[in-house]
Amino acid sequence: MLTKFKDITTFIFDVDGVLTDGSVYVNEIGEQTRSFNIKDGYALQLAVKCGYNVCAISGSRSKIAIHRLSSLGIKDIYLGCSVKTETFKAYIHERGISPMNVMYMGDDIPDLEVMKMVGMPVCPADAAEEIKELCEYISPYGGGRGCARDVIEKALKIQGKWMGAEAYSW
């Protein structure tokens, strides 16, 4: 199972329920906010610095997600995607990426079809059962609780890139 981590060149993540715990906080004037894990953030920015393709594809339209992911150096952020397979196909086509080199982390039914198209579908521990059934790896961490760090760290360690010079500049 862990041998598949050696072929990964591209990490694609859903946002709500993967990079967040799925909670939406609403203040008294109706503004919504989310919570992101700092350890996930460290791993995401490190993957970018190490030259991996890092992408978010989400049904959410959260401006907070754009701000957080952009601050980590992620440029490929696709929000408001009602059909994630179309966004995924366009993304890999534009960049010449083989689906077999893609790890996609999703947590719920909207991720199901795109996860069937990648070389390594993975999910957080608290993903929907339908998602868990098709995953190559299930992180022991929940969404927004270190699951992104877990899979990125495994891939980078297996590929010998975890503690390179990039690791020390945050």
pLDDT tens for the chain, 170 residues: list them: 678 899 999 999 999 999 999 999 999 998 888 999 999 999 999 999 999 999 999 999 989 999 999 999 999 999 999 899 999 999 999 999 999 999 999 999 999 999 999 999 999 999 999 999 999 999 999 999 999 999 999 999 999 998 875 655 55
pLDDT at 163: 81
pLDDT at 32: 86
Q: Which two tokens stand for residue 37?
A: 């894990």
Q: Which residues contact 32 (CB under 8 A, 6 or more apart)?
A: 24, 25, 26, 62, 64
Angle between helix 38-49 and helix 147-158 axes, rounded to 10 deg: 30
**CB-based burial, 66-87: b 16+ in 10 Å, e otherwise:** bebbeebebebbbbebeebeeb
Paired tokens of 52? 């991996």
All structural domains of the chain, each given as residue ranges with its CATH number in brackets, are 2-159 (3.40.50.1000)
